[in-house]
Amino acid sequence: MSASRGGPALSGARPASPWPLGGGSAGARLRAGNPPPSGLGAVEDWPAGLRSAVEICLSSGFPSFVFWGPGLVQLYNDPAAALLRSCHPSAFGQPLRGAWPEGEARLGPLLMRALESGEAVFQEDLALHTAGEESRAKRFALSCSPLRDPADGVAGLFCTLAEAAQGEQRLRSVLERMPLLVWRASAPGEWSWAGPQWSAFTGLSGEESLGQGWLAALHPEDREGAMEAWSRAPEAGRFEAEFRLRHAADGAHRWFQTRAVPLQGGGEGVAEWIGTSTEVDELRRMGQHQRLLMGELQHRVRNTLGVIRSIIHRTVQASDDLDDLAMHLEGRIDAFSRVQAAVTRNPTSGLDLAQLIADELLSFTAREGKQAWIDGPPVALKPKVAETFALAFHELATNAMKYGALSSPQGRVEVSWRVEHSGEIPRLHLTWRETGMRGGATPAPRRGFGTDLLERTLPYELQAQVERRFEADGLCCTISLPLTPRVLADTPPNPDPQA
């Protein structure tokens, strides 16, 4: 037999023995089937959701109920039996209506609200009489949660009652163990209690934080905004604000995200607000850092596109035909791309001058120790300066391949540099020397991109002094420039360019 609104019955053969139930006399009553629950059928045929809910109900130390089906058939544990007084045990397993008049009157509207909305219902200050106290009602806090069927409909309800004093004690116990700053307010902006976490962080005692005393922990600039948020809270049904709290240990202000929700009282009004404050200082700093990085990225992308446009424009002007254009354009963009790849691998580090030179020579298959020799102290260049240097070394290597040392098996390229500290600003002196040319160095047939880069761009952008001499056995190019903060990176380069 299927349970009413409880979904299909469990498939498979019925177990040989009854479903084991604990829970004192209520559990024994279910095992004996006396009286049989109305319309629910045999216990072993109940849906899994109903069976689990009843197990939890019977094992609870608080008065607990399971209401099942459209008729709200009620099953309850022994602590709840005292609330039914003379209606117990005849009301056990029967629909709420008619079986327990006080429960129907007090709980019925709340149960129907939970059934219709499909959401949990909480009610504080609920008055119910108990056995032996006919003339005096006790105050309870009710928690009522929906029990769903396989189709996600509401098949029943699980309800727990706690005496008001017990509920208050348990609530404080839970709040004091939360890893957040917790507090309570009796009215918008009027605190009635502050947890130990709040006091430990702000240095304000619970008494000092009552009323609007908690505002003393806020940054002066954030107090007005916090109270404005409280003024909107009743209509919005929640309080949300971000403000800075002063840390008692170091006096620094840190950002906190604060939220509060209202708890309904016995009537329609709000009994109090329960709030938490969560530190988000690091998240805000990370967000600011991310925005700075995005701005830097956008700036770098614009600069990159500008450099590429310049490379294309100047290469087109200096090329004789399409083959010459394609060859030079590809090489220059490759040189520029190598710098961008290095920046991506180590965005916070400077770019190593030695690595820039080695990369360009390797791109022309000139290996150190055979046709190339590099020597100099570590120098970390900023990305923009590294881009210009990389293009300059590419042009020198290109000319060496076409007209200079790299065009001959016996040719050799030696690059050395030193840093001079004699003045207020250190100065870099770099020498690119080609040797092994038997017929002497041959200048390029006409002025082109490389010549403009060395003789115009480097002096203009880096205040560099550039001299090129065509000597008997090859080209000698010297570059001297001040290592200003605009040129020299703050962070040393990573020794492993692939790290």
CATH number at residue 207: 3.30.450.20
> What value does the mean pLDDT take over residues 27-43?
75
pLDDT, residue 319, reads 62
Same domain flag for 288 and 242 = no
What does pTM read for this prediction? Answer: 0.40
> What value does the mean pLDDT take over residues 286-306?
68
Residue 489 domain-assigned (yes or no)? no
Task: Read off the pLDDT of residues 355-399 as tens digits, 9 standing for 90 and up.
Answer: 888 888 887 766 656 788 999 999 999 888 888 888 888 888 888
Cβ pair 379, 404 in contact under 8 A? no
Same domain flag for 314 and 232 = no
Task: Read off the pLDDT of residues 402-460 as tens digits, 9 standing for 90 and up.
Answer: 888 888 888 889 999 999 998 889 999 999 999 887 666 566 655 667 777 888 888 98
- pLDDT category at 175 given cuts 50, 70, 90 is low
CB within 8 Å of 198: residues ≥ 6 apart? 181, 182, 183, 204, 206, 209, 214, 217, 277
Same domain flag for 77 and 185 = no
Same domain flag for 307 and 243 = no
Domains contained in the chain, number: 3
Is the predicted pLDDT of residue 468 greater than 80, yes or no?
yes
Same domain flag for 182 and 250 = yes
CB within 8 Å of 46: residues ≥ 6 apart? 3, 6, 9, 10, 19, 40, 54
Structure tokens given for 355: 């690595």
Q: Element (H or E) spanning 165, and its range?
A: helix 164-176
- State whether residue 134 is helix, strand or coil: strand
Cα–Cα distance for residue pair 327/318, rounded to 1 Å: 12
Range scoring the smallest mean pLDDT among 6-20, 43-57, 225-239: 6-20
Domain closes at, from 260, 279, 298: 279
CB atoms within 10 A of CB 72: 23
Is the predicted pLDDT of residue 499 greater than 70, yes or no?
no
Same domain flag for 321 and 419 = yes
Same domain flag for 103 and 184 = no
Same domain flag for 184 and 209 = yes
**What single string gives the DSSP state of each residue in 333-345?**
HHHHHHHHHHHHH
CB atoms within 10 A of CB 480: 16
Query: Can you give the CATH number for the domain in which 384 is found?
Result: 3.30.565.10
Same domain flag for 221 and 198 = yes
Same domain flag for 137 and 209 = no
